[in-house]
Amino acid sequence: MLEIKNLHAKVDSFEILKGVDLEVNAGEVHSIMGPNASGKSTLAQVLTGRETYKVTAGEILYEGKNLLDMTPEVRACEGVFMAFQYPVEIPGVGSAYFLKAALNAIRKHHGIEEIDAMDFLALAKEKMKLLNIDEKLLNRSINEGFSGGEKKRNEIFQMAILEPKLCIMDETDSGLDIDAMKVVAKGVNALRSPERAIIIITHYQRLLKYIVPDFVHVLVDGRIVKSGGKDLALELEDKGYAWVEEEAVKSK
Amino acid sequence: MTTDTKTIKTLVDKEYKYGFVTEIEADSIPRGLNEETIHMISAKKNEPEWMLKWRLKAYRHWAKMKKEKGEPKWVNVKYPSIDYQDIIYYSAPKPKKELKSLDEVDPDILKTFEKLGIPLEEQKKLSGVAVDAVFDSVSVATTFKEKLAEMGIIFCSFSEAVLNHPDLIQKYMGSVVPYTDNFFATLNSAVFTDGSFCYIPEGVRCPMELSTYFRINAESTGQFERTLIIAEPGSTVSYLEGCTAPMRDKNQLHAAVVELIALDDATIKYSTIQNWYPGDKDGKGGIYNFVTKRGKCLGRNSHISWTQVETGSAITWKYPGCILQGDNSIGEFYSVALTNNHQQADTGTKMIHIGKNTRSTIISKGISAGYGQNTYRGMVKILKGATGARNYTQCDSLLIGDKCGAHTFPYIEVKNPTAQMEHEASTTRIGEDQMFYCKQRGISTEDAISLIVSGFCKKVFRELPMEFAVEAQRLLSVSLEGSVG
Ligand SMILES: Nc1ncnc2c1ncn2[C@@H]1O[C@H](COP(=O)(O)OP(=O)(O)OP(=O)(O)O)[C@@H](O)[C@H]1O
Ligand SMILES: [Mg+2]
């Protein structure tokens, strides 16, 4: 589904990604871990097409097509979704209105007719129940005044409604209490399917206890320096990143 | 899918939808302005002597103003000086015969309004909205007149009111905006041609929206309309005006006067959706919209509320205000003003607190895109006797792109120490992060902007009558098309 080859990217004049290689197939769950400022969010932003990040070398194929040729909205319509590390507030724009507009934009892209208000509401209610979200949030301005945990849960709620093919979650677990984390995990696990791939960016093993990944990758200084199975996350929790970094230096 | 730049290019090239011209035979007077012009206008309208006298008084005052000081200089807009001798002050579609009913209105005019989405034919009238349609200088049709008359409500063209209700006109005309008020109001008092008149009798709640639709059609004509609304004690009315004009290379002048009078416990809600032709993307052509609107809360507990959505005109100059004379009276001003391309707007409000415990609320939302310049100019005056007066002002500007500007000039004058004033102001840019958030969810650039902008305007839109809120939202997104690139 996704093939990243020798990806280099920079912001202003700083090179942040320095040759990332990663292959993700449909049905798989990948976790990307790594120290602060190693470039995890940058990778997510590059995948979703944020203009401030410039790709200087390498390529990204998504379902066989050149992802870098697509605008951010086309990528979204083609099924690439990011749950933001810091969801943005849009004053005055109702959550329900926003999400319906998004869903209809995606449906239109695929030539499906628009969903009407009643059907949308029914769909939203079903997913809110799954994620334990207060229905009142639907009537409030998007993310405005939401608590940290509400914002994060709301991202997964949007993901559940939009049903993307490639889900990228950027530190969705930080800021969630233990119960909320279980609820989010339940929501994400419900989305696991042979047609869908999930990339989870996280610092901690705890979320991975509930959403068990097929692969774990360690990103250090703009490169994936180690990959492994779910046990790698446990090992990292035990030994910290210094250990991988040393190994990476040795292998050079 | 097309690329971003390509979409934007096609959107920029999209034209003003209401820019067509109706080919119709017109009855006009020659270009130019002098005492003779005033006599001609008055004669065309078969006016009584007192009306002609009032016009002449205003004209002489205007001539003096023009000679001594000219147009107001304090306004934050730029335009080449207007040649008042090059304007046609009266133009009316030539009637084939005397009009008895709507069926006799020229079908081309009916078609024009239909094209604008304002059906005047009896069967197709907007449900629950009475419409007065003004085409160039005259009112061509007023709907639902009889139904309203049963309740004692008078809703007719200003010209008809001059002939049929001279007592009310003589009592109230100029009582809120005197003919000496300002350059453009004085000009209007001299040459005004038509407009709407509403009278709501004591204790009556007007059962439908009253609406006037103004259309400038003929070339080189100015439109100088006058509207007067009187709400007797305990009555309530909601009024809406809409405006469009054909696309022309030459600027056209629109100088209107609106006066509202609310007596004890009466409420007047006045909403405007102004979409005059703004000129092309290089700033050529467009309407100069120089308007004086004022309401007087004459009675106790009276309430006047102005809501305006200003998206059109090359230049907008207007400050709908309230004179809060009755004790406990309330004045409100909710405004969205949008300037795109080379449009300029200098708009705001004046709230004059005279009575005790008077309250005013000002919510102003300015949006600038392209090379647009948007100025908020507001005055809140608390006079000596206005014990317990309160004002809340919120004034926000939203910038789209980096070539536009937003300016704020609040004037506050407080003569009573018990007054409570609250003022909030902000200037923001549409955030790259907000745009990206929308796009990441599949929403296109254009839709994302219109979504964010309508969120910004929400506090004003929710004041509009339901049907018009939808219209306003649509208008904003159309006016913003091509504003990012
Ligand atoms: N817009 C930007 N402008 C300047 N520097 C940036 C920008 N975005 C990212 N960076 C820098 O790039 C580096 C990588 O940032 P990134 O957000 O990708 O890290 P991260 O791995 O997600 O870290 P964390 O675990 O703290 O979230 C950091 O040093 C950061 O300061
Ligand atoms: Mg990060």
What would the pLDDT profile of A137-184 be if each residue is shown by its tens digit?
A: 888 999 999 988 899 999 999 999 999 999 999 999 988 888 889 999
Between B468 and B382, name the one with better pLDDT. Answer: B382
Between B122 and A148, name the one with better pLDDT. Answer: A148
Q: Residue B441: which of A49, A76, A91 has the nearest Cβ?
A: A76
Give me ligand 2 centre to Cα B103, in Å.
69
Averaged pLDDT for residues B112-116: 62
pLDDT at A68: 95
Q: Rounded distance, CA B232 to CA B265, Å?
A: 9
The number of C-alpha atoms within 13 Å of B428 and in the hemisphere containing its C-beta is 15
Question: Average per-residue pLDDT in chain B?
Answer: 81
Q: Which residues of B touch A109 (CB under 8 A)?
A: 442
Name the token pair of A44.
Answer: 């997510």
Name the token pair of B30.
Answer: 């020659």
Please tell me the least confidently modeled range out of A14-28, A129-143, B18-32, B35-49: B18-32
Averaged pLDDT for residues B205-219: 73
Q: Give the predicted TM-score (pTM) of the model.
A: 0.80
Q: In terms of Cα–Cα distance, which of A2, A48, A63, A23 is closest to A170?
A: A48
Nearest chain A residue to B4 by CA distance is A71
User: Tell me: the pLDDT tens digits for B34-92?
Assistant: 888 899 889 888 899 999 999 999 999 999 998 888 777 777 767 777 788 887 777 76
Which backbone phi and psi does B137 adopt, to 5 degrees? -90, -10
Name the token pair of A109.
Answer: 């892209």
Name the token pair of B292.
Answer: 């004086």
Pairing of strands B257-262, B303-310: unpaired
Dihedral, CA atoms, B374, B473, B124, B153, nearest 10 degrees? -60
Give me ligand 1 centre to Cα A170, in Å.
12
Averaged pLDDT for residues B369-392: 91
* A73/B444 touch (CB, cutoff 8 Å), yes or no: yes
Task: State the pLDDT confidence band at B104, using cuts at 50, 70 and 90.
Answer: low
Which backbone phi and psi does A58 adopt, to 5 degrees? 90, 180
Q: Which residues of A touch B461 (CB under 8 A)?
A: none
The number of C-alpha atoms within 13 Å of A57 and in the hemisphere containing its C-beta is 9
> How far separated are the first and last CA of chain A, in Å rounded?
29
Please tell me the least confidently modeled range out of B171-180, B245-254, B358-367: B245-254
Please tell me the least confidently modeled range out of B57-71, B306-320, B402-416, B445-459: B306-320
* Percent of chain B's residues with pLDDT above 90: 38
* Percent of chain A's residues with pLDDT above 90: 76
Indicate if the pLDDT at residue B484 is higher than 50.
yes
Task: State the pLDDT confidence band at B111, using cuts at 50, 70 and 90.
Answer: low
Which 3 state secondary structure label does DSSP give B16?
Answer: coil
Q: Rounded distance, CA A63 to CA A103, Å?
A: 21
Task: State the pLDDT confidence band at B11, using cuts at 50, 70 and 90.
Answer: very low
Max intra-chain CA distance, chain B = 68
Q: In terms of Cα–Cα distance, which of A137, A140, A135 is closest to A122?
A: A135
pLDDT at B9: 38
Q: In terms of Cα–Cα distance, which of B177, B169, B463, B175 is closest to B294?
A: B177
Q: Rounded distance, CA B393 to CA B375, Å?
A: 15
Indicate if the pLDDT at residue B6 is higher than 70.
no
Please tell me the least confidently modeled range out of B317-331, B336-350, B410-424: B336-350
Q: Is B466 on the interface with A (CB under 8 A)?
A: no
Indicate if the pLDDT at residue A242 is higher than 90.
no
pLDDT at B3: 34
Pairing of strands B303-310, B267-274: parallel
Which residues form ligand 1's pocket by a CB distance below 6 Å?
A: A 11, 16, 34, 36-42, 52
Return the best residue to mutate from A8, A11, A52 for the ligand 1 pocket (most ligand atoms within 8 A of CB). A11
Environment of ion ligand 2 (residues, CB < 5 A): A 41
pLDDT at B404: 84
C-alpha distance from residue A171 to each of A99, A140, A174, A203 (Å): 22, 24, 6, 7
Q: Rounded distance, CA A183 to CA A24, Å?
A: 25
* Percent of chain B's residues with pLDDT above 70: 76
Q: Rounded distance, CA B173 to CA B55, Å?
A: 12
Task: State the pLDDT confidence band at B302, using cuts at 50, 70 and 90.
Answer: very high
pLDDT at B340: 81
